[in-house]
Amino acid sequence: AQSVAQPEDQVNVAEGNPLTVKCTYSVSGNPYLFWYVQYPNRGLQFLLKYITGDNLVKGSYGFEAEFNKSQTSFHLKKPSALVSDSALYFCAVRDPAGGSYIPTFGRGTSLIVHP
Amino acid sequence: DTGVSQDPRHKITKRGQNVTFRCDPISEHNRLYWYRQTLGQGPEFLTYFQNEAQLEKSRLLSDRFSAERPKGSFSTLEIQRTEQGDSAMYLCASSSTGTGGFTEAFFGQGTRLTVV
């Protein structure tokens, strides 16, 4: 079975500082990993994905994420946070070896960027 | 606009009534998903279509819930005899097969259901 965990309900960071939002996963094979962002009363917007290849993937709005197979992690990062980055962030995983086409989402992490 | 479209955006209904939501996926996408999201939680999978075939259903999807995707285009999600516990945001997403067999899912704005 595939699962994903976001250990922090909330992350607080000052504007201009680097940010990290953590995600760990569990799959039987090699994972497909995704990050999404959700603003209030809106749907989820795709940020970036890891399917294969370079462990560091770059996405929208200056975000990047690093795939670490040994630690089963896919943390979201940004070198310099903006107040406008404040939102809910969701990590998702899909296990192709498991035979399902359904991404499983984490509970989400609320990112608050203080001016 | 070529994104995923959901209608209505908001629905308030009395307990016991039936409701139906519609999702129009991105036109070239053959895969369509329904998720439910409650406050403080991530999206929970409900059901999945590939073209017109409903291939997976979650155990969350009780017999009061039914979904269709006629002709592999738009989809509808119906909830019969609504209960207060059905109050949630219902999200639709679509994706295509893409290179390597999968691309990311794109989400609609959601339909917020309130059962009173």
Decide if A80 touches B, using CB distance below 8 A: no
pLDDT value for A55: 94
User: Which residues of B are less than 8 Å from A90 in CB distance?
Assistant: 42-43
Sign of the torsion angle spanned by Cα atoms A54, A59, A65, A68? negative
| Radius of gyration of the CA atoms of chain B, in A | 14
Q: What is the pLDDT of residue B107?
A: 94
Q: Measured between alpha carbons, how far is A14 from B66 in angstroms, rounded to an integer?
A: 46
B83 with B19: CB under 8 angstroms?
no
For residue A3, pLDDT beyond 70: yes
pLDDT tens digits, A20-75:
999 999 998 889 999 999 998 788 999 999 998 899 999 999 999 999 999 999 99
Q: Tokens 């999404």 map to which residue? A: A36
Quick check: B98 pLDDT over 70? no
A45 to chain B, any CB pair closer than 8 A? The answer is: yes
Q: Does A94 touch chain B (CB under 8 A)?
A: yes
Chain A residue with minimal CA distance to B91? A43
Q: In terms of CA atoms, which chain B residue is nearest residue A34?
A: B104
Please give the Cα distance from B55 to B87 (Å, whole number). Answer: 25
Judged by phi (left if over 0) then psi (alpha if -120 to 50, else beta), residue B72 lies in left
Mutate to test the interface with A, among B104, B106, B113 (most CBs of A within 10 A): B104
- In three-state secondary structure terms, B64 is coil
By the 10 Å C-beta count (0-12 exposed, 13-18 middle, 19+ buried), A84 is classed as exposed
Q: Does A103 touch chain B if contact means CB atoms closer than 8 Å? A: yes
Find the chain B residues whose C-beta atoms sit closer than 8 A to any C-beta of A.
4, 6, 31, 33, 35, 40-45, 48, 50, 55-56, 91, 93, 100-102, 104-110, 112
Q: Tell me what percent of the residues of chain A surpass a pLDDT of 90.
A: 80
Give the residue-averaged pLDDT of B10-23. 98
| Structure tokens given for A61 | 């709005």
Binning pLDDT at 50, 70 and 90, where does residue A19 land? very high
CA distance A86 to A75: 17
| Interstrand relation of A73-78 and A64-68 (parallel, antiparallel or unpaired) | antiparallel
CB B111 within 8 A of CB B8: yes
Confidence of residue B102 (pLDDT cuts 50, 70, 90): low
Q: Which of A52, A100, A105 sits opposite B43 (nearest CB)?
A: A105
